[in-house]
C-alpha cells in the first residue's frame, strides 16, 4: 500500500548488493561529488541562472540526496560492490578527459555512440529526454 507502483524482485544477497551498488551507491557518490563542487561555487546564483534542463535535474537529484542522513549515505556508499562500479566510472571519466585534452574527438564520439547504441537496445532515449523536459517544466510551474 505504501508503494503501489513498486516492483518486487526476488534475488540473492550477492546480486542484490551488485544492483544496489549501481542503483544507490554510484548515484549517491556521483551526486555527492557534484554537490560538493556546487557548494564551492561562489557564484551559484549565476550558474543557476545560466543553466538548462540537464543541470537543473542533476542539481535537484544532488540536493535531494543531501537531505538523507550522512550515516545512511555512508552505509550506501560503503557497499563493497560500489567500489568496482565507481572505479569503472572514474576510469571512464579519466579516459574522456584525456581524450579531450589530446584532441581525440573521434574516440570521444565513438564512446558516446557506443553508449547510445547499447542503451537504446533497452531504452527509448528520445522518450527519456521528453520525460526530463516534462519533469523540469512541471517543477518550474
Phi, psi torsion values for 40, nearest 5 degrees: -90, -10
User: SS3 for 43-100, per residue?
Assistant: CHHHHHHHCCHHHHHHHHHHHHHCCCCHHHHHHHHCCHHHHHHHHHHHHHHHHHHHHH
Walk along the chain (141 residues) and give the pLDDT tens digit of each residue: 777 888 888 999 989 989 999 999 999 999 999 999 999 999 999 999 999 999 999 999 999 999 999 999 999 999 999 999 999 999 999 999 999 999 999 999 999 999 999 999 999 999 999 999 899 889 887
Q: Note whether residue 119 is domain-resident.
A: yes
Work out how many domains the chain is built from and give that number. Answer: 1
Return the pLDDT at 3: 76
Q: Note whether residue 121 is domain-resident.
A: yes
CB atoms within 10 A of CB 129: 12
Full-model pTM = 0.83
Q: Note whether residue 79 is domain-resident.
A: yes
Q: Note whether residue 1 is domain-resident.
A: no
Q: Note whether residue 4 is domain-resident.
A: no
Longest dimension (CA), the chain: 54
Residue among 141, 25, 34 nearest 83 (CA): 25
Q: Note whether residue 134 is domain-resident.
A: yes
What CATH number did the domain enclosing 59 receive? 1.10.3660.10
Domain that holds residue 38: 13-140
Amino acid at each position: 500500500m505504501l508503494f503501489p507502483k513498486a516492483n518486487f524482485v526476488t534475488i540473492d544477497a550477492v546480486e542484490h548488493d551488485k544492483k544496489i551498488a549501481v542503483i544507490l551507491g554510484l548515484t549517491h557518490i556521483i551526486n555527492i561529488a557534484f554537490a560538493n563542487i556546487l557548494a564551492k561555487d561562489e557564484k551559484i546564483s549565476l550558474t543557476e541562472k545560466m543553466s538548462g534542463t540537464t543541470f537543473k535535474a542533476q542539481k535537484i537529484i544532488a540536493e535531494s540526496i543531501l537531505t538523507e542522513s550522512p550515516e545512511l549515505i555512508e552505509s550506501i556508499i560503503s557497499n563493497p560492490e560500489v567500489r568496482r562500479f565507481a572505479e569503472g566510472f572514474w576510469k571512464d571519466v579519466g579516459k574522456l578527459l584525456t581524450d579531450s585534452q589530446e584532441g581525440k574527438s573521434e574516440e570521444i564520439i565513438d564512446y558516446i555512440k557506443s553508449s547510445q547504441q547499447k542503451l537504446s537496445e533497452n531504452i527509448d532515449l528520445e522518450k527519456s529526454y521528453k520525460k526530463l523536459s516534462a519533469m523540469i517544466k512541471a517543477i518550474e510551474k
